[in-house]
Amino acid sequence: MLAGKHRVRGLSRPVRLGVVAAAAAVLTVVSLTVPNIARQAAAQPVEDDDNWVSAWSAAPQGPSTLGQFGVETLSGANQVNAVQDLVPPPTTFSDETVRQVMYLHHGGSAVRIQLSNQFGESTTTLPSVTVGKRTGDAGAEVDPGSQRVVTFDGEPSVGIPAGGTVLSDPVDLATEAFDHLVLSIFVPAGNGPATVHGNAMQTFFTAAGDQTGTEGDEAFTERGIVVNNYTSTFTTAVYYATGIHVEGEPGDRTLVAFGDSITDGFLSNGNIDNRYPDVLARRLKADPQTQHLSVTNQAISGGRVTGDGIGPSALARLESQVLDQPNLGGVIFLQGINDLGTAILQGEPKTADDLIAAYREIAERIHAAGVPVYIGTLTPAGDLLRPAPYGVYSAPSQVAERNTVNEWLRTEGREVFDGVIDFDAAIRDPLMPDWIALQYDALDNLHPNDAGYELMAESIPQEFLDEIAAG
C-alpha cells in the first residue's frame, strides 16, 4: 500500500485520468433537460492496489437530483399523485455539513474515500471530511472513537477540479462487512452544484457550519422522506461520494453489478439495504467459498447501453466504473430495457440488433481485461393489458424487441458471455410472461419489489459465483 497517495482524475490534466459516471431514474420526464453527460475521460487502472476492493459505490448522474427533473410517476395502486409537491433533495450546499450513510459489502483494515466533481463547472473545495462507523441501526450518530479525519496528500482539505475525481489517502479504520459508515463533508459557501447520485434509497443529513468533527447527530436535520419505496426514490440522494474502498486480505476481489434502475434498487424500500446487489453481497458472505468477493453497485437509473440517457451510456462508462475498480474479479451486467423503452423521450428507440451489437462490444472489452462477465436477461416490462407507465416499454413492438434480445441471450449470448442469468424467468408471471409476477412487482409493471430483488439475487447460479471466486 502506498500511504499518502493522492489521486486526482479528470479531463485533459497532467494527472491520471478517470471519471466515474452517471445515474438517475427510469421514469416519465416532463420538459427534461439532460445535463452535460458527455464529459468522459479515458480511465486508467488504479496502481498499487494490493488488497484493496470496492465495498460501496454510487454512480453520479450530474448536478440534478430526481426532484429537479420535474417528474411524475404512475405506480399502480400506490401511485404518488403529488410527487412534485414533495421537497426534493437540494443540488447545492452553502456553509453546511452533509452527512451520509453507506452500507459496506466488505470489511478491511483501512478505507479510502472517492469523491467526485465530474459534473462541476469549476473547482469544488471541501475543507474537511471525516468518516466513522454508525452507532445503532438508524440515524447518523458516529460510534465514539471511530471517527477519523480523511486526508488527501496528507492535507484535510481538497480541491477537486471540474470533471475530476479524487481518491483519499488510506484511513486507518477497521471495518466489517455490512457496517454502515458515516461520511461527513463540509461544503463552504461558493461551491457550485454538487455531483450527485439521485436514487440513494437512504436518508442523508445536513447541519449548519462545519460539523464534521461531531460524533452525535443532534445538530443534523434528517433530509429526504423515507416513508416507503415511493417517497424515498424521489427525495434521497448521495452527494460527492462515488466510492469507498477497503483494504482486505490477499485474494479479495471486487464483483461489479453493472446496470440500470433494477440494479440501482429503484422502488425498493428505503434505509433497509435491499437492492439485489445488497442481497447478493449477504449471500456471498454466508458462503466460505465466496466470502472474499465484494459487490459494488455501478447502476444508472434511467441509463441506457447504446447512448446517453439521464446519464452516460454503459459503453461510455465501462472503463471508469467497471474496469477501473480495484482488484476486479468479475462483472454481472443487466441493462438494455431503457434502450427499448425510454429512448423515445430522447430520440428513437433502439432495436434488438442495436443492443446485441453493444452487448458484443461490452463482452469483448471486459474479456480483454481478463475478467469474466455474466449477463442477465431483460426482465418483464408489461404489455398493453398491464403497461409500464414510463414510456413505450409495453408497446407490442418493444415487447417483441425485448423477447428477441432475451432469445439471443439464451442461445448465442451464452457463447459471447461467460454465462447468462435468467432474471426474466425468475420474476415473470408464469401465465403472462410479459408481466412481473404480482408478488414480485413494485406495482409499476417494470421494477421488482423487495421480494423480487431478493429472488433476483438468489437466482444467480452458484457456479457463476464460484467461477468468479476462483479467479
pLDDT digits (tens, 9 = 90+) for 295-344: 999 998 888 999 987 788 999 999 999 999 999 999 999 999 999 997 66
First to last CA, the chain: 22
pTM of the model as a whole: 0.88
Between 72 and 294, whose confidence is greater?
294
DSSP 3-state assignment of 202? coil
From CA 216, how far away is CA 202, in angstroms rounded? 19
Q: Using pLDDT thresholds of 50, 70 and 90, give the confidence band for residue 228.
A: confident
On whether residue 1 sits in a domain, the answer given is no
State pLDDT tens for residues 347-359: 689 999 999 999 9
Q: What is the mean pLDDT of residues 30-48?
A: 37
On whether residue 157 sits in a domain, the answer given is yes
Residue 372 burial (C-beta neighbours within 10 Å; 0-12, 13-18, 19+): buried
Question: Would you give the distance in Å from CA 224 to the centre of its chain?
Answer: 18
Instruction: Kindly give, in sequence order, each residue whose CB lies less than 8 Å from that of residue 155, ignoring residues fewer than 6 positions away.
Output: none
On whether residue 2 sits in a domain, the answer given is no
Number of domains in the chain: 1
Contact (CB, 8 A) for 344 and 361? no
Please give the angle made by the CA atoms of 152, 154 and 157, to the nearest 5 degrees: 50
Instruction: Kindly give, in sequence order, each residue whose CB lies less than 8 Å from that of residue 267, ignoring residues fewer than 6 positions away.
Output: 75, 229, 230, 233, 442, 444, 447, 448, 449
> What pLDDT was estimated at residue 311?
81
From CA 101, how far away is CA 182, in angstroms rounded? 5
- Neighbouring C-beta atoms of residue 416, cutoff 10 Å: 18
Residue 372 corresponds to which cell in the numbers above? 469474466
Q: What is the CATH number of the domain that holds 321?
A: 3.40.50.1110
On whether residue 428 sits in a domain, the answer given is yes
Distance set, CA 369 to CA 123, 128, 326, 366 (Å): 33, 37, 13, 5
State pLDDT tens for residues 434-467: 999 999 999 999 999 999 999 999 999 999 999 9
Contact (CB, 8 A) for 98 and 185? yes
How many residues comprise the chain? 471
On whether residue 385 sits in a domain, the answer given is yes
From CA 248, how far away is CA 50, in angstroms rounded? 9
Q: What is the mean pLDDT of residues 403-416?
A: 98
Residues of the domain holding 56: 7-470
> What pLDDT was estimated at residue 82?
42
Own/partner long-range contacts of 395-400 (Cβ < 8 Å, ≥24 apart)? 398/340, 398/341, 398/349, 399/434
Q: Which of 13-22, 47-56, 82-91, 189-198 has the highest mean pLDDT?
A: 189-198
- Which of left, alpha, beta for 191 (phi over 0: left; psi -120 to 50: alpha)? beta
Q: What is the mean pLDDT of residues 25-29?
A: 33
> What pLDDT was estimated at residue 11?
31
> Strands 128-133 and 204-208, how do they pair?
unpaired
> What pLDDT was estimated at residue 65?
73
